[in-house]
Chains A and B, each alone.
Chain A
């Protein structure tokens, strides 16, 4: 459930933020949301969120503009004129950026938890030795 919420929120926050700021808002939002929501597994959830965000957008643009750009992007990047490849590589790029960001966000959260746990242990050890 948390993972689905994570994916939906990345799409709802990351994509509009990219409009106003930079494309980096997408992986940044994936990283921050992973930090707070801790989706499982984080890498896969990030990958899906990024792929859906950019893949659906690219496919939507391709359909809306009657296929004017996809073949050219495919030709530019992959020496093919199949627009599906262009949508695919776009989705993959978005997915990878979000996947690594989500993984880092989640690991940061785990690291923070672990530090808290250690702190609690040390403090309890300290209090035990005192009394």
Chain B
């Protein structure tokens, strides 16, 4: 009996301890996690956690000093560029290691390796898109150039120097929770993160939907309802000018939509929710500081940790302040001692789809111009945690990878190949390295010339008083409609005809009007001679154009107020038409709402219920305006096009009458959903903006934020996206900057710096961005210091 009792006791003890140590299935290893010495509690930090750290490393050439300011922004001082980037890698890994690992795994299709089989479809999709292939092309370019090679190697060494000295206790909390360990950093991972950004910013990918519209309704209908440029594009990025290619005519192919559309996938996954951005520059003549002013706010997913990591890099010939993307050396947006730059996404479509026809079911050859060309097979090996390793063969054609095969009807022997500028070799890292160091306009132009994908609107200002903007990146040379719809891959003429040469790119420097801006709008007016496909609605561009033309001079506060502007031009265009339609209509019990709508200033304030009502009403209207498009996988054409259609409400004909009835019916439905314009319907509650943890762990999300704005306001905050870095720089003799991003410098949810900036970002505050001299730290308060010494031989 005693023996049985003893055996049972030991069995139970070992079972409990085993479960607590290793976990089982969905049960986490609670013993390891809850151990206050090494587990989750060990990641709790005090505010003065970073007071002093001294290390030595064999790869460091001379002593490096890092001082943290009160917001944990590192100011790195090195004696040479190698050590500067070593320190950048070291300090970024110190605060954002899990984020770097996660982004590289996400881009490279390696999440199921640590998170299990549920993530396999995502991993497979990333591999089939050729993101790893694209990163390998970029990596080869980075390593080919001596500057970018040296930068990326030093950065990689710095990240690995941090990883090497970690024990389980020091692991970021997500590694413990998800039960895996950090692995060494490589240049390929940096390239993967840049491709993750490139993929994130590639939009206008509606080729399949457009093809169905074209096939069913014809070319005229397609171009009318889904235009690339319209007469209302009065706010082009570059002013009207004489273009060098005015007489150029690209080869024009015979365009016809492919047959057998029912055998295509229903839709190709894509999302472009509010991934726009704003940037603008004011000349010294229009600036109250007497120096050019530059503003930039990229609108990206509102994640935690933030996509940005703020820092100041200083070494001989290098003195730059701004934000970096964790995992990527150099600064992506910022300013140095002579100049400043910012980015917005170009609206150009840089991803096209081709249907390729395989010779047989082996899919080893495909038809191209009456010839059978061999595919290049690339076997993607995906390791799955707790499951079988998956091998997926991706076939590469002249266009690029065949992304969709098995989603097609079996036996069709065809697939969808993707042609994307992201697969082309480019050296974006060299672009940012040179931008960080640029001193004048020619340096700026040289720096951006290495940038490939996707095309970005680079804005520029310097202390000499120059301002400029250039859309830079690979832009395919196409004939009209090419790339807007799916093309047959077996015709040579459907291939891109090369890329635009540099002199054709949209560019403008020092315009007479004294300002330049981009909000992802169309870069040219309708008179531009070349075909440019892809567009964003021009609501934000019209608003900033209005604000910049309003006064003769602007100060820093004006710039900040513009970034926080909540006026929605879409509402200003649409609401009067919608209210007009209600006149003479029989609408009852609507006085309170009608009064609120009539008095509304079109601003999306957080506390106001009127934006909530308007959005609901507008959305009901447009869903009734375009009932036909649902069968092509589309909700409705753009809001601009919808408003154009609404203009007919004033007509007395049958179309006008029908439209008025649509608007009235939508109003009645909306009215039945809303009680009164009180706090219950406040816009902030409807929108429920919050910063979400990248691994979607709710405990690490921020609370719901008290923010106004929508995707069409300059302050473009939606429920999941928003201005991830607001920056204003005055290019005085010694440039001064102000900025803020939602989140905090630390990626550790157990740090006081994790959500440090959120309240101030929500309130629209800015922090001074100071390029502090090393000696100044003797008298300035510092949140911490790191000394990195070369290892003694």
Partner of A66, one of B10, B40, B46, B177: B46
When distances are taken between beta carbons in the complex, the residues of chain A under 8 Å from B676 are none
Interface residues of A in 1-48 (CB under 8 A from B): 15, 18-19, 22-24, 26-27, 31
* B 1-23 binary contact with A (CB < 8 Å = 1; else 0): 01101100110110011001100
Interface residues of B in 2-51 (CB under 8 A from A): 2-3, 5-6, 9-10, 12-13, 16-17, 20-21, 30-32, 34-47
Q: Given A23-B35, A69-B43, A93-B31, A76–B697 Cβ distance below 8 Å? A: yes
When distances are taken between beta carbons in the complex, the residues of chain B under 8 Å from A89 are 34
* A 35-68 binary contact with B (CB < 8 Å = 1; else 0): 0000000000000000000100110011011101
B387 at the interface (CB under 8 A from A): no
Q: Given A54-B36, A97-B31, A104–B13 Cβ distance below 8 Å? A: yes
CB distance from B42 to the nearest CB of A (A): 8
Closest to A69 in B: B44
CB distance from B784 to the nearest CB of A (A): 16
The reply to whether B32 and A108 contact each other, CB–CB distance below 8 Å, is: no
CB distance from B46 to the nearest CB of A (A): 5
The reply to whether A100 and B12 contact each other, CB–CB distance below 8 Å, is: yes
The reply to whether A114 and B752 contact each other, CB–CB distance below 8 Å, is: no
When distances are taken between beta carbons in the complex, the residues of chain A under 8 Å from B20 are 93, 97
The reply to whether A103 and B9 contact each other, CB–CB distance below 8 Å, is: yes
In Å, the complex CA distance between A26 and B697 comes to: 30
A107 at the interface (CB under 8 A from B): yes
In Å, the complex CA distance between A27 and B697 comes to: 30
Partner of B45, one of A23, A57, A58, A68: A68
Partner of B31, one of A23, A61, A73, A103: A23
B244 at the interface (CB under 8 A from A): no
Partner of A93, one of B9, B30, B47, B700: B30
Q: Interface SS of chain A: helix, strand, loop or mixed?
A: helix
The reply to whether A24 and B31 contact each other, CB–CB distance below 8 Å, is: yes
When distances are taken between beta carbons in the complex, the residues of chain B under 8 Å from A75 are 698-699
Q: Given A65-B750, A76-B177, A100-B12, A57–B700 Cβ distance below 8 Å? A: no
The reply to whether A94 and B6 contact each other, CB–CB distance below 8 Å, is: no
When distances are taken between beta carbons in the complex, the residues of chain A under 8 Å from B737 are none
Q: Name, among B3, B41, B700, the residue most crowded by chain A CB atoms within 10 Å (CB to CB).
A: B41
When distances are taken between beta carbons in the complex, the residues of chain A under 8 Å from B41 are 57-58, 61-62, 69, 73, 90
The reply to whether B750 and A68 contact each other, CB–CB distance below 8 Å, is: yes
CB distance from A57 to the nearest CB of B (A): 4
When distances are taken between beta carbons in the complex, the residues of chain A under 8 Å from B700 are 72
* B 117-139 binary contact with A (CB < 8 Å = 1; else 0): 00000000000000000000000
B257 at the interface (CB under 8 A from A): no
When distances are taken between beta carbons in the complex, the residues of chain A under 8 Å from B177 are 76
CB distance from B97 to the nearest CB of A (A): 18
Closest to A71 in B: B699
When distances are taken between beta carbons in the complex, the residues of chain A under 8 Å from B39 are 23
Closest to A92 in B: B34
The reply to whether A97 and B697 contact each other, CB–CB distance below 8 Å, is: no
Partner of A57, one of B21, B30, B37, B751: B37
A111 at the interface (CB under 8 A from B): yes
Partner of A23, one of B6, B16, B37, B43: B37
Q: Interface SS of chain B: helix, strand, loop or mixed?
A: helix
In Å, the complex CA distance between A108 and B3 comes to: 9
When distances are taken between beta carbons in the complex, the residues of chain B under 8 Å from A97 are 16-17, 20, 31
A82 at the interface (CB under 8 A from B): no
B749 at the interface (CB under 8 A from A): yes
The reply to whether B750 and A94 contact each other, CB–CB distance below 8 Å, is: no
The reply to whether A69 and B36 contact each other, CB–CB distance below 8 Å, is: no
In Å, the complex CA distance between A2 and B75 comes to: 56
CB distance from B248 to the nearest CB of A (A): 60
Closest to A58 in B: B36
When distances are taken between beta carbons in the complex, the residues of chain B under 8 Å from A103 are 9, 13
The reply to whether A18 and B38 contact each other, CB–CB distance below 8 Å, is: yes
Closest to A56 in B: B36
When distances are taken between beta carbons in the complex, the residues of chain B under 8 Å from A73 are 34, 40-41, 699
The reply to whether B44 and A107 contact each other, CB–CB distance below 8 Å, is: no
In Å, the complex CA distance between A67 and B575 comes to: 48
In Å, the complex CA distance between A76 and B33 comes to: 11
Q: Name, among A66, A69, A94, the residue most crowded by chain B CB atoms within 10 Å (CB to CB).
A: A69
Interface residues of B in 740-754 (CB under 8 A from A): 749-752
Closest to A64 in B: B46
When distances are taken between beta carbons in the complex, the residues of chain A under 8 Å from B10 are 104, 107-108
Partner of A100, one of B16, B43, B44: B16
Closest to A25 in B: B37
Q: Given A24-B31, A72-B699, A72-B700, A18–B9 Cβ distance below 8 Å? A: no
In Å, the complex CA distance between A17 and B749 comes to: 27
A123 at the interface (CB under 8 A from B): no
Partner of B2, one of A31, A62, A94, A111: A111
In Å, the complex CA distance between A52 and B648 comes to: 76
Partner of B13, one of A58, A61, A101: A101
When distances are taken between beta carbons in the complex, the residues of chain A under 8 Å from B699 are 72-73, 75-76
Partner of A94, one of B13, B21, B34: B34
In Å, the complex CA distance between A73 and B386 comes to: 26
* A 94-112 binary contact with B (CB < 8 Å = 1; else 0): 1011001101100110110
The reply to whether A19 and B37 contact each other, CB–CB distance below 8 Å, is: yes
When distances are taken between beta carbons in the complex, the residues of chain A under 8 Å from B44 are 61-62, 64-65, 68-69
CB distance from A14 to the nearest CB of B (A): 10
CB distance from A74 to the nearest CB of B (A): 8
CB distance from B54 to the nearest CB of A (A): 21
In Å, the complex CA distance between A23 and B29 comes to: 11
Q: Given A18-B37, A110-B2, A104–B9 Cβ distance below 8 Å? A: yes
CB distance from B109 to the nearest CB of A (A): 27
Q: Name, among A23, A58, A75, the residue most crowded by chain B CB atoms within 10 Å (CB to CB).
A: A23
When distances are taken between beta carbons in the complex, the residues of chain B under 8 Å from A94 are 34-35
When distances are taken between beta carbons in the complex, the residues of chain A under 8 Å from B697 are 76
In Å, the complex CA distance between A107 and B1 comes to: 12
CB distance from A17 to the nearest CB of B (A): 9
Q: Name, among B2, B3, B44, the residue most crowded by chain A CB atoms within 10 Å (CB to CB).
A: B44
When distances are taken between beta carbons in the complex, the residues of chain A under 8 Å from B750 are 65, 68-69, 72
The reply to whether B34 and A93 contact each other, CB–CB distance below 8 Å, is: yes
When distances are taken between beta carbons in the complex, the residues of chain A under 8 Å from B2 are 107, 110-111, 114
The reply to whether A68 and B36 contact each other, CB–CB distance below 8 Å, is: no
In Å, the complex CA distance between A23 and B36 comes to: 9
The reply to whether B35 and A18 contact each other, CB–CB distance below 8 Å, is: yes
CB distance from B167 to the nearest CB of A (A): 10
CB distance from B171 to the nearest CB of A (A): 14
Closest to A103 in B: B9
CB distance from B38 to the nearest CB of A (A): 6
The reply to whether B17 and A101 contact each other, CB–CB distance below 8 Å, is: yes
Partner of B35, one of A31, A54, A104: A54
When distances are taken between beta carbons in the complex, the residues of chain A under 8 Å from B47 are 66
Q: Name, among B2, B32, B699, the residue most crowded by chain A CB atoms within 10 Å (CB to CB).
A: B699
The reply to whether A27 and B36 contact each other, CB–CB distance below 8 Å, is: no
The reply to whether A96 and B16 contact each other, CB–CB distance below 8 Å, is: yes
When distances are taken between beta carbons in the complex, the residues of chain B under 8 Å from A64 are 44, 46
In Å, the complex CA distance between A12 and B749 comes to: 30
CB distance from B40 to the nearest CB of A (A): 6
In Å, the complex CA distance between A90 and B752 comes to: 22
In Å, the complex CA distance between A65 and B751 comes to: 9
9 contacts between A and B (CB under 8 A): A26-B35, A68-B751, A72-B750, A76-B40, A76-B177, A76-B699, A97-B31, A100-B9, A108-B6
Where the two chains meet, the residues of B that have a C-beta atom closer than 8 Å to any C-beta of A are 2-3, 5-6, 9-10, 12-13, 16-17, 20-21, 30-32, 34-47, 177, 697-700, 749-752
Nearest first, the 7 closest Cβ-Cβ pairs linking A and B are: A23-B35, A69-B44, A75-B699, A57-B36, A65-B44, A100-B13, A69-B750
| Given pairs A108-B6, A114-B2, 12 additional interface contacts (CB within 8 A) | A24-B21, A54-B35, A57-B36, A61-B41, A64-B44, A68-B750, A75-B699, A76-B177, A97-B16, A97-B20, A97-B31, A100-B16
